[in-house]
Each structure stands twice: as C-alpha cells, then as structure tokens.
C-alpha cells in the first residue's frame, strides 16, 4: 500500500491520516509493523509530573514527513537532527495533516533519551469546521469514537499522546461537546499509554470563536481544565504571564507558553534572542513551548547547522533545567543518527552520507563555557556509528585539571562500578595531557569509597582506579580494556562505593606538569560505558 511503502523505492515509510474517515477507519495492520516504536521510554529524573517548569519542543519543518519518513534511514547529506534531549521534557511532531502520527525514528530517538513524543490532531479553515461539526456537534457516541481511535493509535505505535489544535470556528453544539471530548480523550490516553499526555492549543474560546488569547484566561480555561496542559499562542507580553500564573494556581507548570523561534508577529525574542522570551517565562514559574527550533537549520542553512545548533541551545541552557539518568547500565557512542560515513571499531566501514534517527545513541549534556570549553559532534572520526563527541578546551594557568560534566545521574550507586572509555587525543600537544573519568556523589555522611576503613572523599568526587586487565569473569563485558585501535585508546576503570548516591559523570583532563600557562586540549570520545 502506498501509505506504508514509498512508491518509488518500495521502502517502508511513516505516514499520516488526512481525514476523519481515515481516522475512524484506521485498524492495526501487518504493513504497519515498521511504524511501531521499538524503544521503550527510558526513565529519567525528575519525572515529568514533578512540579518544576518544563520545556516542550514543537517540531514543525516544511510540512513534515521529509527524509525522516524513511523508517530504515536514507542517504541524506546534512540532515536535520535534534540531540539536546537532556534539556527538554516533551517533543511534539507537528504537521498540517489532520492526524500527524510521529515518524517512528523520532519516537525511538526521543524515548532512548527519556523524552515522551506527542502527535498532532489538527483541524483548520472551513474543512476543519466541517470536520469538527461532523464529530463534535453530533453526540457523545461520535466524539467518543474519535477519542477512542486517537488513544488506540498512540498505544499501537507506542508514542505518548496528542497535541490538539482546533484552528477554526465551532458551532454552539460543537463547542459544547469540546470539554467532554477532551476529558474523554485524556482519560483514554492515560489508560492506554503509561505517562500519556493530551495538550490543548490556545485557539478557540468557550463560545466557539477562533481568537488566540496568548494566555490562560476565563475564555479558554474550560479546555485547560479538561486535559493535561495548555500551549499558548506566541504574541504575549509580561502582563499575560502574570495573569496566567495567577489563574493557573497549582497547575502553573501545565501552561506551556509559546515561543515562535521564527519570531512571526508581535513577539518578544526569537532566533538567537529566544533567551529573552524564556527568561520572562521562567521568572513567572511557567513551562515553555519552543515552536520550530528548526529555524536554525531552515534559516541559517544546512552547512553550519551543528555549530549553530550548539550556539542556539547554549544560549538557552541557563533557563533549561536538565535531566538525570537514573538506571544502569549506561552505554553510548554519542552517535547523532547521521554521518558522512560509517565507522566500526574505529575503522571507516562505508563512505557516503546516511541519516537514521533510530540509530541515534544516548546523548550527553553539551556544556559550553565561552572561550574555555566547547562540546560538539565530530563527523570526521568515530569509534562506532557516524560521529564521536569532541571536547575542546583549556586547562587554566596554575590549575592541574579540568572536569567536563557529561551526564547528570540520580540513583543509588551499586557496590561496584566498572567504566570503560574509548578516546583519542588530538591537537598540537596530545602528550601533555591525560584523560580519565570522575564520578561525583551526593554529599552524605554515609557515603564511603573502597573498604570500611576509608575516609569519605572530600566534596564527593571519586576517581575510579585504572584497571589494566578485566577480572576473569568479566573478560567478555570488558573486552575493550586492553583494546583500542586506529589511534583510539581504550581504558577500563573500577570503583567501589558504599551507601552512596550518584550525581555526575565527568571527563577529567589533567596535565602532567604544573604550568603558569594555559594548556589547550582536544579529546574525541568514541564510547563510554558504565
């Protein structure tokens, strides 16, 4: 069927539904199996339901279903990728098709990094009016059938819920049934999808008029009360935020204040000034919805995309609470799910561009310190996949070493930890520095390293011991200890902890000789396992 397979290449593709009839007729089908996400939503801390302000990203690019529709990947040069997962809470895939089912590669990449994914149910213009009239103006049976189907679709393809966006006028009968429809859809999604979500876009008022409010108020509150959250329109000022905060009460983090990165209309910020909008939203303790951050790719061009993307998210980092990994084992080769060639064990296996977000690995934090440190993707060399992580910086004068925080952790430490690292030192003086790992634990009187007689580490920073060869029983798991090839160095470490709670995992870059000068370094990370 053309819906499931590309007519030109016969490859399996992700698809959308274009009408109410298609939605109501949808049934699971063997041709669909490629579209089912294979990656369960990873746990992370704090969980989504915690009361800290959240960040939603709404991805809307050129109508959607571009190269990302090819489920088994494509040979795309300079594709769009997203990898700042540690900084966001929810990912919405947006298009103007009636029922936007997120391409499965996005769900796989997001889930691997602990981020839930929402599809979009949209109605607009006069066709949208007719569609809403057909299922909302009738009776309970008609709107319940739509809610049921949307919940079944999310459950079947294993994504996490819906953004509902009605951008057309509603008749009195239709708008009267809208809150019960939203309540029914929300209840069905919650029972069909663990942790599922339904978010309403600020468009229609309770009397059925289409008029964007740019805030939560008495005109749209009835819809907010019927689901998990409100995504506001973009043309707000600070007084809208104040009123919203007052009205939302304890649900203030369920209001996602819209920021259009393309800065269309009368908005604060956008582009590289998006931090201005975000600062105000956070000042009032509200969540944020960043719309079309693909601006970086579409507006500034594909050539310098990765550099510009790091700049864009780096400018926002101050206002984006990050997330911690809370389960072990942790293993990643840092691959973005794209490349200009493919590597295996440090060796180039295949030349030529490729793009497959399902193959994206767990992504780290991307710390940036103006002039002192940058973390970025290196496409020229990798241990496995398409890229490695390039950590570039300087050790300041008089200091022995610098710690680069790669992951935030939040979990009890097991009594014994093994860590493996594959890396490559580059730059003019690679022999002046050495590389190791550092684990930080939360301050607590009970946490001890090593045996019962050891003293607690000052400030909870632990430096795992170098392990020249793996213990006999672990030779297979730690096969990389003495390995490394094609210029990559492989190191294993071990650490014994008692009654500790893990907090951070950092790369430690040290210099051999103290120096009054600064020491620059460039280190590629090919793989990390804990």
Residue 403 pLDDT level (bands cut at 50, 70, 90): very high
pLDDT at 481 over 80: no
Against a cut of 0.85, is the pTM above it?
A: yes
Express each pLDDT in 170-186 by its tens digit: 999 999 999 999 999 99
Which string of DSSP letters, residue by residue, matches 214-263? Answer: SS--TTTHHHHTTSSEEE--S---HHHHHHHHHHHGGGGGGEEEEEETT-
d(CA 265, CA 288): 18
Reading the block at residue 160, the tokens are 């996490």
Residue 467 pLDDT level (bands cut at 50, 70, 90): confident
Alpha-carbon distances of 351 from 36, 243, 312, 338, rounded to whole Å: 30, 56, 30, 12
Reading the block at residue 78, the tokens are 């300079």
pLDDT at 458 over 70: no
Q: If 0-12 CB within 10 Å is exposed, 13-18 middle and 19+ buried, where does residue 213 land?
A: buried
Tell me which of 65-74, 134-143, 411-420, 424-433 is least confident. 424-433
Domains of the chain, CATH where assigned? 55-67+82-321 (3.20.20.80), 331-529 (2.60.120.260)
What is the mean predicted confidence (pLDDT) over 91-113?
A: 98
Express each pLDDT in 288-311 by its tens digit: 999 999 999 999 999 999 999 999
Task: Look at 455 and 323; give whichever has higher pLDDT.
Answer: 323
* Half-sphere exposure (Cβ direction) of 192: Cα atoms closer than 13 Å: 24
Q: Residue 515 phi/psi, 5° resolution?
A: -150, 140
Q: Strands 388-395 and 519-529, how do they pair? A: antiparallel
What is the mean predicted confidence (pLDDT) over 257-285?
A: 96
Q: Is the separation of the CB atoms in 420 and 474 below 8 Å? A: no
Check residue 457 and give its pLDDT: 57
- Of all residues in the chain, what percent carry a pLDDT higher than 90? 86
What is the mean predicted confidence (pLDDT) over 21-39?
A: 95
Q: Is the separation of the CB atoms in 72 and 12 below 8 Å? A: yes
What is the pLDDT of the chain when averaged over all its residues?
94
Q: Is the separation of the CB atoms in 232 and 289 below 8 Å? A: yes
What is the mean predicted confidence (pLDDT) over 447-459?
A: 64
Check residue 369 and give its pLDDT: 86
pLDDT at 101 over 60: yes
Check residue 150 and give its pLDDT: 98
pLDDT at 455 over 60: no
Nearest to 496 by CA among 444, 434, 442, 419: 419
* For helices 238-248 and 274-283, angle between their N-to-C axes, nearest 10 degrees: 40
pLDDT at 96 over 80: yes
Residue 152 pLDDT level (bands cut at 50, 70, 90): very high
pLDDT at 451 over 70: no
Reading the block at residue 457, the tokens are 């580490």
């Amino acid at each position: 069927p053309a819906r499931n397979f590309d007519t030109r290449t016969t490859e399996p593709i992700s698809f959308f539904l274009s009408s109410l009839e298609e939605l109501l007729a949808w049934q699971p089908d063997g041709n669909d199996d490629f579209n089912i996400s294979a990656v369960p939503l990873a746990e992370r801390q704090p969980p989504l339901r915690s009361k800290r302000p959240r960040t939603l990203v709404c991805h809307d690019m050129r109508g959607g279903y571009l190269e990302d529709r090819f489920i088994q990947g494509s040979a795309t040069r300079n594709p769009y990728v997203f990898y700042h997962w540690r900084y966001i809470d929810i990912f919405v895939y947006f298009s103007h098709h009636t029922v936007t089912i997120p391409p499965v590669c996005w769900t796989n990449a997001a889930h691997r990094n602990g981020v839930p994914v929402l599809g979009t149910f949209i109605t607009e213009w006069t066709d949208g009016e007719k569609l809403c009239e057909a299922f909302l103006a009738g009776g309970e049976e008609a709107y319940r059938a739509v809610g049921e189907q949307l919940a079944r679709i999310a459950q079947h393809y294993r994504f996490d819920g819906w953004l509902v966006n009605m951008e057309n006028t509603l008749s009195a009968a239709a708008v009267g049934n809208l809150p019960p429809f939203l309540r029914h859809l929300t209840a069905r999604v919650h029972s069909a999808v663990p942790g599922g979500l339904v978010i309403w876009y600020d468009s229609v008022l309770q009397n059925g008029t289409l008029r964007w409010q740019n805030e939560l108020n008495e005109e749209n509150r009835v819809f907010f009360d019927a689901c998990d959250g409100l995504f506001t329109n973009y043309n707000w000022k600070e007084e809208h935020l104040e009123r919203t905060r007052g009205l939302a009460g304890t649900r203030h983090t369920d209001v996602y204040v819209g920021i259009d990165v393309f800065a269309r209309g009368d908005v604060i910020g956008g582009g590289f000034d998006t931090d201005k909008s975000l600062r105000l939203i956070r000042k009032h303790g509200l969540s944020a919805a960043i719309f079309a951050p693909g601006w970086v790719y579409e507006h500034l061009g594909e050539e310098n995309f990765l550099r510009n993307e790091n700049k864009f998210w780096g400018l926002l980092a101050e206002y984006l609470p990050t997330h911690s990994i809370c389960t072990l084992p942790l293993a990643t080769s840092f691959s973005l799910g794209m490349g200009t060639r493919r590597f295996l064990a440090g060796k180039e296996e295949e030349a030529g561009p490729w793009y497959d977000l399902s193959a994206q690995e767990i992504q780290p934090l991307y710390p940036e310190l103006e002039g002192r440190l940058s973390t970025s993707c290196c496409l020229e060399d990798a241990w496995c996949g398409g890229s490695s992580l390039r950590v570039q910086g300087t050790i300041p004068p008089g200091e022995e070493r610098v710690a680069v925080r790669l992951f935030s952790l939040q979990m009890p430490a097991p009594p014994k930890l093994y860590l493996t690292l594959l890396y490559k030192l580059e730059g003019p003086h690679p022999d002046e520095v050495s590389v190791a790992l550092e684990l930080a634990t939360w301050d607590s009187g009970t946490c001890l390293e090593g045996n019962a007689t050891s003293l607690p580490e000052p400030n909870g920073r632990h430096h795992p011991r170098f392990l020249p060869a793996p213990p006999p029983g672990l030779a297979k798991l730690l096969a990389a200890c003495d390995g490394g090839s094609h210029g990559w160095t492989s190191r294993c470490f071990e650490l014994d902890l008692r009654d500790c709670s893990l907090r951070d995992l950092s790369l430690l870059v040290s210099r051999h000789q103290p120096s009054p000068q600064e020491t620059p370094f460039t280190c590629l990370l090919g793989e990390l396992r804990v």
